[in-house]
Amino acid sequence: MFSLAQRFQTVSNQVVTYACFIAAFVAITSWLQLAQNDAFSIPATINNIQPSINVRTSRYYGSQNGKPKQNSKIVFDIDADLSSLFNWNTKQIFVYLTAEYSGSEGRDTLNEVTYWDKIITSKDDAQLSLHNAKSKYSVWDLEEKFDGREANFQLKWNIQPWVGPLIYGQTEGNKTITFPVIEKTQKKVKQKVV
């Protein structure tokens, strides 16, 4: 009565339907377990942020047509325990330190840049205790300057599960700093005595 193709289609439809329900169940129970372990309210301490600003003219550092561009790097301390983010469905955690700052005067923009990141693949490595760590990336803005701007630093994370969607969050605790103002140096012009 039914051909082999129809029987195969019926069986494969059942398998796909059950697999979708199982994947949804796994994703929901994994998220509920994270909520039960207070994974969305992890305390973190960010201290001793020391920004440094360099002026670069290379296009690899954001400069265009040889016009100087300010680049920012930082030295920082972080203490955080991310072990509560791990459960049976966690493949790895991507953790990153960001800074949010507003645009220059008259612009209603909020910029967010990443200074440091790390991939944590096991619960044993989830205890972060970094002291005098250097930023991984040199950061520049679309505008010319960083100096004098106020930035809010925060540690954020992204759980990459075995099954289900990515889960984003951030730790409790942040640090606000103001980038130092760079004084322009005057070039000395040597005059020839004739």
| Residue 57: closest CA among 67, 49, 42 | 67
pLDDT tens profile 6-31: 889 999 999 999 999 998 998 899 88
Give the CA distances from residue 25 to residues 18, 92, 118, 150, 164, in Å, rounded to whole numbers and listed in that order: 10, 20, 29, 44, 9
Q: Which domains does the chain have, with CATH numbers?
A: 4-178 (2.60.40)
Residue 62 has pLDDT above 60, yes or no: yes
pLDDT number for residue 187: 44
pLDDT number for residue 191: 44
Q: What pTM value is reported for the model?
A: 0.81
pLDDT tens profile 97-147: 999 988 776 567 888 999 999 999 999 999 999 999 999 998 888 777 777
Distance between terminal CA atoms of the chain? Answer: 111
| Residue 54: closest CA among 143, 178, 180, 176 | 180
